[in-house]
Homo-oligomer: A and B are copies of this chain.
Amino acid sequence: MNEPVSLPSNWVSARTPTAQPGQLIMLVTAGGKRHLIQLQPGRRFHSHLGLLEHDDLIGLPLGTTVHSQIGHPLLLLEPSLADLMTRVRRSTQIIYPKDAAYLVHKLSLRSGSHIIEAGTGSGALTIALAWAVAPAGMVYTYETRADNFTTASENLRRAGLLPYVKMHQESISDGFHQTGADAVFLDVRTPWSFLAQVRTALRPGGFFASLVPTTNQVSELLLGLESTGFADIEVEEVLVRRYKPVPDRLRPDDSMVGHTGFLISARPVVDAADPGRWLSEERKRYEARKEVQAMIAEEEERRTIERAEGGRKYPKMPLPG
């Protein structure tokens, strides 16, 4: 999977100081509303704040204040990665920037990485993954639902990232078409069902992660990882707290996103013969405690039976606890 990819000529030069035809740009209103549009000569931008000719925007420096034909100001900005991710057309719940940012980091993605993703959903995370691995790497993404597949491919095309994504409209039950992947990310309901497939697709030293919304799924996935030869297992949650940016009245926002998902990450081990060896310390301590408790329960039961049978009565003594 690791042949070098030549740098596309437009990759770096896309960042120009002025708005170019074909470029995605943001128009931000004074009220903070954000509009993501692709500049095309001859087109018009319509909103309740009035009209703007694309031709009047092309060539302007980014960061310029423009005005609609009825005088409303709008700020012309280059879209951030978060804008690209969150202003997609959606047919599903999308993964949030806070989680995408941490995932890209946990999976150690960089230009040149080859990552497998399932499922694609609306493609918001695919955008962040392609952004991270382009131009020398590739995202291989799987999605079964036709409507999501279409939505995601359109979202990726619009963001200019489709060249760095290979899309598969099929189930992952029978495995992935790729092997030697640097990373695999599962955003599916039952990630524990596909861990054998993940192991086959991942190169030695690769990175695995998944995002699930419920604690029950976390428990099931942990059980699966422990028994399929994964180590370095971590469960984390990312919370972002936003503040009102008022210098002399600084305070957190009244409400915040309370939960999106739990992020589970792990590394494959070559020799899965003794999977217990690389369990976390907490896990091992808990197993040891469970054994002691089972011994105590057995002893208690034995005493109860002896007492019931009128046999030798044990004095009430503290059991280890």
This chain: how many copies in the complex?
4
Q: Is residue A258 within 8 Å, beta carbon to beta carbon, of the partner chain?
A: yes
Given contacts A145-B321, A258-B252, contact A65 B277 (CB under 8 A): yes
Task: Confirm or deny: A88 has a beta carbon within 8 angstroms of a beta carbon on chain B.
Answer: no
Binds B, one of A37-45, A50-58, A231-239, A305-313: A231-239
Residues of B within 8 A of A15 (CB): 2, 112-113, 182, 203, 205
Q: How large is the interface on A (under 10, 10 to 19, 20 to 34, 35 or more residues)?
A: 35 or more
Cα–Cα, bound, A318→B250 (Å) = 29
A267 touches B4 (CB 8 A): no
| A214 contacts the other chain (CB 8 A) | yes
| CB contact list, A191-229 vs B, under 8 A | 203-205, 207, 213-216, 218-220, 222-223, 226
Query: Is the CB of A291 closer than 8 A to any CB of chain B?
Result: no
Instruction: Tell me the chain A residues, 25-62 only, with Cβ under 8 Å from chain B.
Output: 28, 30-32, 61-62
Do A204 and B111 have beta carbons less than 8 Å apart? no
CB-based nearest B residue for A289: B249
**Chain A residues proximal to chain B, CB less than 8 Å:** 2-7, 9, 11-13, 15, 17-18, 28, 30-32, 61-65, 73, 75, 77-78, 80-82, 97-98, 100-102, 104-106, 108, 110-113, 128, 131-132, 134-137, 145-147, 180, 182, 203-205, 207, 213-216, 218-220, 222-223, 226, 231-260, 262, 264, 267-271, 274, 277-278, 280-283, 286, 316, 318, 321
